[in-house]
Amino acid sequence: MEKEEEKTNKAGKKKKRTSFKSILGGDILATDFFRRQTRLIVLIMVFVIFYIHNRYASQQQQIEIDRLKQELIDIKYDALTRSSELMEKSRQSRIEEYISTKESDLQTSTHPPYLIEN
């Protein structure tokens, strides 16, 4: 009788053995292990989808940050250029040249506007 049980156990083990064909056919999902662990597998899949979504959102934000940094650098250079142009145009020597070309009697004062006394 024990020999018969051993033979059925060996035959049962052979039946439980998974093959590549059973994996591709989906028969493996009908096994007792997968039926008991369905909730865990679904939970793991939800976490995987959540992880992929967060990774994608993070990459999109990083791309946006890099784009905004480059735009900020461009704006800073543009502001620096405009500031230097304004400084060059508003120099006293440039203003004096502009006034002298207009046939005006205006001249630069040689006396200081305020007299500082001790």
Q: Give me the pLDDT at residue 6, please.
A: 58
User: Is the pTM of the predicted complex or chain greater than 0.85?
Assistant: no
Q: Give me the pLDDT at residue 68, please.
A: 98
CA 71 – CA 78 distance, rounded (Å): 11
pLDDT (tens digit, 9 = 90+) per residue, 65-107? 999 999 999 999 999 999 998 888 888 777 777 777 766 666 6
pLDDT (tens digit, 9 = 90+) per residue, 28-53? 778 888 889 999 999 999 999 999 99
**Is 22 within 8 Å of 28 (Cβ atoms)?**
yes
pLDDT (tens digit, 9 = 90+) per residue, 15-31? 567 788 877 888 877 88
Sign of the CA dihedral 78, 81, 84, 85?
Answer: negative
DSSP 3-state of 39:
helix
Q: At residue 67, what are phi and psi to the nearest 5 degrees?
A: -65, -45
pLDDT over 90 (residue 113): no
pLDDT over 80 (residue 57): yes
Reduced to 3 DSSP states, what percent helix, strand and coil does the chain have, rounded to the nearest 5? 80, 0, 20
